Structure 1
Amino acid sequence: MSHPWMPASPCGDGCLTAGAPVVGRVRRAVRFAGAVSVVLLAFGVVPALFVRRFRDPLARLVFRGVLRAFGVRLVVRGEPLDGGGRGALVVNNHISWLDIVAVNAVRPMRALAKKEIAGWPVLGPLVARGGSIFLDRERLSTLPSTVADLAAALRGGSLVNVTPEGTTWCGLASGRFRPATFQAAIDAGVPVRPLALRYRMAGGRETTQPAFIGPEPLIDSLRRVAALRGLVLEVTVCGEIAPGRAADRRELAAMAEAAVQAALGNVTVPAQRRRRAAEPAGLQRA
């Protein structure tokens, strides 16, 4: 079921860059098996994950293990991503299900996620066990209580990851940052930490192959990522936006979006006009 207010992107299959190098079927199967093994191992050490001094280092190893299993090399640039004992709203442009893995591989944290993610293979159990706050996108009436839960988590000292575009884009095109969840940062009096994500192949060419766009099932996206050879995921940690710098949530969302676009090198071109998708694809999956 969908509603007119639900975020949508025009990105579809026509946005996927051609000519990406791929691995053979045996390597793809090994990657799937490796990712599943990492998740099973994570549940094997669940008791240790409840010990505070072990929790974050172990969670980081698990998420980095998932990236390695899929053959993804993580490159992190910019400032350290550390809350310093206080909460922060961590926001990023949204391209792929890999985004969630990457953010937690840099710094494990809670997330605001659509409720469907809890049922996803591999990623779902990890996100649920990480203390995610789940959003029912089909019931707009639940949004105020979700924002209140988010503010409470931030006030309690948690870093919480949010994707304010509300859906995935191909990466060469992107959507505006919607302001609703930024109200939680204002209410909690915590900073916003923008992250800029970009996917490249080993030779440096930007690629949209990891994008989770259009009507495809999650398993098809998993297979496409598992087939890629030399995928590099770049995460740039931008400077924090301190509490009180914005007059309201709309200005705060615009500031965070501008920081991400500047880190991606898109300073003068409006986000939604950088590249229009070739074929409209309706509502997106994440």
Structure 2
Amino acid sequence: MSSPTWTGDEDYPAPIKISAIGWCRVLLRGLPVVAILLVGIFTLTLIRLIERPIFGLRRPIGGHVPSIVCRIILFVLGIRFRVSGKPMAGGGAVVANHSSWLDIVTLNAGNPVFFVSKSEVAKWPGIGFLAKITGTVFINRDRKEARQQTKVFEDRLAAGQKLLFFPEGTSTDAIRVLPFKSTLFQAFLSDELKPKMRIQPVTVNYIAPEGEDARFYGWWGDMDFGAHMLQTLSAQRHGNVEVVYHTPIQAADYANRKTLAAYTEATVRNGHFRTKHSQ
């Protein structure tokens, strides 16, 4: 069962007509981004051919390739990138607010992570392939498979991976944090994971380009991915993004999934520069 997409109560930002110069920027940014992705895929594939037989799920070298690629992509786009706080060392769960497809780039640029995504994403053209090759964990939102998915999490965490979750269950307009769904956190409190499970709340703040709608980087509802990507590539100027790493916590310190979800949500909200308490 998939999560409903958040639509909000306000109209979408007015579409920006792309000028001739804007289309030139699309090419000047888009072509290098494609080239960077292709080089990254080729490099990662070669590294995994060596890593997999030796290290299995561990990715001591390959895990850093997406991070390097994403930092370069942000530079090419002209989006200024800043980090506050310190990513936790070793494996664990990372929970963050979700604003846009750009989160894939910004959260990987800050620190190597492995996204946990709904199984449907694996079938999406292009994006599904990139998700697979970068080690994304695909899950079915089915309680019948909860035990099996917990085992997948346990194996990944034992390999030192950081698994990134979006507890809101949907992307937003980048100016708010939605309530965290507590169901996700139940896996962290299983008998196998709870004693050693560490969780780091992370806040992502997008600052729109000067003069643009504050929701410029948000991607939500039924907004078209292609149109939003072209808007990003054609922008005359860009704003910036800040990734805030909060103090990690121990799952064993929380009585149940609701208190764990409430604490991480409050922490992410407190780090958000203009959170609206919206349901």
Q: State TM-score, norm by structure 1.
A: 0.80
Moved more, 199-208 or 11-20: 11-20
Shift of 1:266: 6.4
Structure 1 residue 122 displacement after superposition: 5.7
**Aligned residue runs from structure 1 range 21-170, under 5 A:** 24-45=22-43, 46-49=45-48, 50-51=50-51, 52-78=59-85, 80-83=86-89, 85=90, 87-120=91-124, 123-137=127-141, 141-170=144-173
Residue 236 of structure 2 corresponds to residue 232 of structure 1: no
Structure 1: give runs of 5+ residues left out of the alignment: 274-286
Once residues 211 and 253 of structure 2 are traced to their aligned partners in structure 1, the CA distance between those partners, rounded to angstroms, is 36
Tell me the amino acid that sits aligned with residue 37 of structure 1: A
| Aligned-residue offset at 1:192 | 0.9
Residues 39 and 12 of structure 1: is their aligned pair in 2 closer, same or farther, counting only changes over 3 Å?
farther
1:55 shift after superposition? 2.1
Tell me the CA shift for residue 21 of structure 1.
11
User: Aligned pair 1:11/2:11, yes or no?
Assistant: no
- CA gap of 1:213–1:112, structure 2 versus 1, over 3 A, is same
The Cα of 1:256 is off from its aligned counterpart by 0.5
**Secondary structure of 2:203's match?**
strand
Establish whether residue 254 from structure 1 lines up as the match of residue 256 from structure 2. Answer: no
Say whether the 8 Å CA contact 2:93–2:198 is kept in structure 1.
yes
TM-score by length of 2: 0.81
Q: Could you tell me how far apart the structure 1 residues matched to 2:133 and 2:218 are?
A: 25
In the TM superposition, what are the counterparts of 1:204-219 in structure 2 within 5 Å? 207-219=214-226
The 8 Å contact of residues 24 and 227 in structure 1, kept in 2 or not, is answered as yes
Counterpart CA distance in 2 for 1:210 and 1:92 is: 16
Q: Aligned-pair distance for 1:204?
A: 9.8
User: Which structure is richer in relative contact order (CA contacts within 8 A, separation 6 or more)?
Assistant: 1
AA aligned to 2:278 is Q
Counterpart AA for 1:101: V
SS of residue in 2 equivalent to 1:233? strand
SS of 2:252's equivalent?
Answer: coil
RMSD after superposition: 3.0
SS in 2 for 1:14: coil
- Cα distance in structure 2, aligned partners of 1:121 and 1:33: 19
CA gap of 1:212–1:12, structure 2 versus 1, over 3 A, is: farther
Q: Percent identity?
A: 25
Gaps of 5+ in 2: 52-58
Of Structure 1 and Structure 2, the greater helix share is in 2
Structure 1 residue matching 2:250: 3-state secondary structure: coil
Aligned residues: 264
